[in-house]
Amino acid sequence: MNSSSPNTSRWSDLRIGITGISGTLGKALTKTLREKGAYVVGLTSNQKSNNSFTSDSPNELINWKCGEEKELDNVLNSLDILILNHGINLQGSQTNKDISKALEINALSTLRFLDRFEELLKKDTSQTKRCEVWVNTSEAEIQPAFSPTYEISKRLLGQIVSIKMSNIAKGKKSYLTIRKIILGPFKSNLNPIGIMNAEFVARQILNLSGLNLKLIIISPNPFTYLIMPIVEVLRFIYFRFTSFINNK
Active site amino acids: 150
The letter for the amino acid at 218 is I
For residue 142, give the nearest of 46, 229, 56, 43 by alpha carbon: 229
Contacts with 93 (C-beta within 8 Å, 6 or more apart), sequence order: 149
E-only strand ranges, 20-172? 39-44, 60-63, 81-84, 131-136
Give dist(CA 103, CA 157) in Å, integer: 9
Contacts with 200 (C-beta within 8 Å, 6 or more apart), sequence order: 186
Cβ(134)–Cβ(26) below 8 Å = no
DSSP symbol at 191 = -
What is the C-alpha end-to-end distance of the chain, expressed in Å?
Answer: 38
Instruction: Encode burial over 108-139: b for 16+ CB neighbours within 10 A, e otherwise.
Output: bbbbbbbebbbebbeeeeeeebebbbbbbbbb
Residue 71 Cα to chain centre, angstroms: 19
For residue 25, give the nearest of 174, 146, 212, 190 by alpha carbon: 190
